[in-house]
Amino acid sequence: MSDALREQLLKAGLADQKKLKQTRKELQQQRQQQRKGGKKAKAAPTDPEKQRLVEERRRKAERDRALNQRKEAEKQQKSVKAQIEDLLKRHAQSMRDGDIPFHFTQDNKVRKLEVTAAQQQALSGGTLAIVRYASRYHLVPTEVTGKLLERDPALFVYRVEPTSDTPEDDDPYRDFPIPDDLQW
């Protein structure tokens, strides 16, 4: 209490010297405790209370560990996604000028892409592959498909396995080569 308020209370008869000395003593003790480091020490917790505190700390540590694992998994997924996008950005070929349809199967359905003649030859020869990522198809070299599948095995990849150019021995038409200008 401020000195002016104390004087007024004493004059009005609402407080006496004994109560005044007691409040001063309590205020002085509070100030000393604040200087020493704060509040009064808590009473020693009982065994059930200790067990409850230990259990709460253990649960909190488990929640924190699980949260950290989820965050780490999300960070890993973002990293993989960025790596895939980077590989596609660097190696994918443009299909904008394509005017030749190339048919392939995905999930037992026949799909069609418009590609250029050179891309059609490369796809048929097995040097290019079709990759589906983010609801789009991309043409990439077959060497890159291995790197893409390492990062995400669930990606759809269509590639033609290269076949040998030597005709089979029992092929009755081996003496009749297919003309180059024939379009299927």
Does residue 129 belong to any structural domain of this protein?
yes
Q: Answer yes or no: is 136 within a domain.
A: yes
Evaluate whether residue 21 is within a structural domain.
Answer: no
| Any domain includes 84 | yes
* pLDDT tens digits for range 78-100: 999 999 999 999 999 888 888 89
Q: Are 139 and 130 in contact (CB under 8 A)?
A: yes
Say how many domains are in the chain.
Answer: 1
Where would I find the beta strands (DSSP E) of 2-150?
100-106, 109-115, 128-133, 136-141
Neighbours of 123 (CB within 10 A): 21
Is 119 exposed, middle or buried, given 0-12, 13-18 or 19+ CB atoms closer than 10 A? buried
Over residues 143-165, the pLDDT tens digits come to 998 899 899 888 888 888 866 55
The token pair at 172 is 């009755």
Tokens 């999300």 sit on residue = 74
**Count of Cβ atoms closer than 10 Å to residue 133 Cβ:** 19
The reply to whether the predicted model has a pTM over 0.75 is no
Contact 158, 104 (CB under 8 A): yes
Would you say residue 56 has pLDDT above 80? yes
Token digits of residue 46: 């009982």
| Residue 131: domain span | 45-164
**Domain membership flag for residue 69:** yes
